[in-house]
């Protein structure tokens, strides 16, 4: 659990983070969104004390983050920096091994962990391990940056626009990978992004920042349904709202009884993708099948449209 209490950061006369308080529950993902310069990175960096706050306290699992020397604290927290920041003079394997080496793990354990992470990120340890970062594509570099942050199995992971430079397909894949890892290891993640789509998709909760202030901190559905201010409303994108709301749900939860013609939709498709498929195929309804291929019922345009309406 991460408790942020009354945190402020001032540079001379300008306040870049202004009295922010929020609690991030263990094993959840909190996504920070906001315009450029709203203080997202600064807030994130106060958690691992790359930036020292002017006022306020941050507690990790109940312990003040100032009870350890900064460098020890940072070894226990994964950090994926904005723009990957890989060490250009070290191989991919050495980059990933950075924190384990600092922690003094033995060589065999480090190698096992590096191989495990590289395999997880579909980078063949034999082929990619000895390469230098500049010999990788931008997407591969970013995955290595995330792998490096995960290497020492941290309980807390801070990620600053980790998928910024990825094309939509790889970005999607990287998001799914991260969600899988988060489920598997129960990591608590704070993720900064500019992309509302990503925020809604990844976040258990979304924190909206504006000019250093935390203007709303709530579940995605609530942010979409009841934006706390005109600013949040604009950020969420008024015309996108119904679709974003749909993207939160799975087809499984929108199944109606009855049959339908056409190609079946798997139950774990997002409701948004299902609606797109219905509109594209020009049919009012399509059959839904479970993971085992058994028919579950059907999903209809009317049913989905109702779900896209503002919750009351």
Ligand X SMILES: Nc1ncnc2c1ncn2[C@@H]1O[C@H](COP(=O)(O)OP(=O)(O)OP(=O)(O)O)[C@@H](O)[C@H]1O
Per CB under 6 A, 39 contacts ligand X: yes
Per CB under 6 A, 36 contacts ligand X: yes
Query: Looking at beta carbons only, is 35 or 82 nearer to other proteins?
Result: 82
Q: Which of 11, 63, 64, 311 binds ligand X (CB under 6 A)?
A: 11
Q: How many residues bind other proteins (CB under 8 A)?
A: 26
Closest by alpha carbon to 294, among 266, 263, 260, 271? 266
Strand order in the sheet with 29-34: 77-80, 156-160, 188-192, 29-34, 205-210, 213-218
CB of 36 to ligand X, least distance (A): 3
Per CB under 8 A, 133 contacts other proteins: yes
Contact of 48 with 77, CB cutoff 8 Å: yes
Q: Give the number of other CB atoms < 10 A from CB of residue 290.
A: 14
CA–CA gap between residue 75 and residue 67 (Å, rounded): 14
Per CB under 6 A, 143 contacts ligand X: no
Interaction mask 23-52, other proteins, x per CB under 8 A = -------------------------x-x--
The one of other proteins, ligand X, Mg ion, none whose footprint includes residue 11, by CB under 5 to 8 A per kind, is: ligand X
Closest by alpha carbon to 77, among 189, 163, 179, 180? 189
In DSSP notation, 188-203 reads EEEEE-S-HHHHHHH-
User: Tokens 């096992």 map to which residue?
Assistant: 112
Q: Which of 17, 24, 41, 288 binds Mg ion (CB under 5 A)?
A: 41
Per CB under 5 A, 193 contacts Mg ion: no
Q: In the complex, which residues of this chain contact other proteins (CB under 8 A)?
A: 48, 50, 71-76, 79, 81-89, 98-99, 102, 132-135, 148
């Amino acid at each position: 659990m991460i408790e942020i209490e009354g945190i402020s950061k001032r540079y001379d006369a300008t306040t870049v983070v202004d009295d922010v308080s929020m609690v991030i529950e263990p094993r959840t993902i909190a996504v920070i969104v906001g315009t450029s310069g709203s203080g997202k990175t600064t807030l994130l960096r106060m958690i691992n004390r790359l930036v020292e706050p002017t006022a306020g306290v941050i507690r990790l699992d109940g312990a003040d983050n100032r009870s350890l020397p900064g460098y020890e604290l940072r070894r226990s927290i994964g950090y994926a920096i904005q723009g990957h920041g890989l060490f250009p003079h070290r191989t991919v394997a050495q980059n990933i091994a950075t924190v384990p080496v600092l922690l003094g793990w033995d060589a065999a354990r480090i190698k096992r962990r590096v191989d495990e992470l590289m395999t997880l990120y579909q980078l063949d340890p034999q082929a990619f391990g000895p390469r230098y970062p500049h010999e990788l594509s931008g997407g591969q570099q970013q995955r290595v940056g995330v792998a490096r942050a995960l290497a020492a199995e941290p309980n807390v992971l801070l990620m600053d626009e980790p998928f910024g430079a990825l094309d939509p397909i790889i970005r999607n894949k990287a998001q799914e990978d991260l969600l899988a890892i988060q489920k598997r290891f129960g990591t608590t993640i704070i993720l900064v992004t500019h992309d509302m789509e990503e925020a809604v998709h990844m976040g258990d909760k979304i924190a909206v920042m504006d000019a250093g202030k935390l203007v709303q901190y709530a579940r995605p559905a609530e942010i979409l349904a009841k934006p706390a201010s005109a600013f949040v409303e604009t950020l969420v994108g008024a015309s996108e709202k119904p679709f974003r709301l749909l993207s939160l749900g799975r087809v499984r939860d929108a199944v109606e009884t009855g049959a339908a013609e056409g190609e079946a939709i798997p139950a774990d498709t997002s409701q948004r993708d299902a609606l797109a498929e219905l509109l594209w195929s020009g049919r009012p309804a399509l059959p839904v099948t479970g993971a085992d291929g058994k028919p579950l019922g059907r999903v209809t345009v009317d049913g989905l449209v109702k779900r896209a309406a503002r919750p009351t």
